[in-house]
Amino acid sequence: DARVTQTPRHKVTEMGQEVTMRCQPILGHNTVFWYRQTMMQGLELLAYFRNRAPLDDSGMPKDRFSAEMPDATLATLKIQPSEPRDSAVYFCASGFQGRNTEAFFGQGTRLTVV
């Protein structure tokens, strides 16, 4: 049963520290999304990659957030420096554009910045 894997599941950090969240997409998927989930805003798209190239990162605060795919099996989302308002659940999802398939979500990383 192929699944999107995210690490860590939970992260508590102090304001100002760097945070790195990792995602392993389902093998063979060519599209990766990063979403942030908050009570107020629901699910917001932060970044979107196809074949490892960033297609849309307009939803991401550029001054502190960065998203990369160093290889096809790993996507990262970094926050530096982190702030309390970044506290949220960050979801990664993967899919295959071209096959009309759904997006499969990871279990999320619950980030708390104190």
Partner 1 sequence: AQRVTQPEKLLSVFKGAPVELKCNYSYSGSPELFWYVQYSRQRLQLLLRHISRESIKGFTADLNKGETSFHLKKPFAQEEDSAMYYCALRDSGAGSYQLTFGKGTKLSVIP
Q: How far is residue 52's CA from residue 74's CA, in Å, rounded to a whole number?
A: 9
Nearer to partner 1, 3 or 80 (CB): 3
> 59 CB contacts (<8 Å, ≥6 apart)?
44, 45, 46, 47
Nearer to partner 1, 13 or 107 (CB): 107
What's 85's DSSP letter?
G
Q: How far is the CB of 5 from partner 1 (least distance, A)?
A: 11
Q: Are 46 and 57 in contact (CB under 8 A)?
A: yes
List contacts with partner 1 (CB under 8 A): 4, 31, 33, 35, 41-43, 45, 48, 50, 55-56, 91, 93, 95, 97, 100, 102-103, 105-108
Nearer to partner 1, 18 or 56 (CB): 56
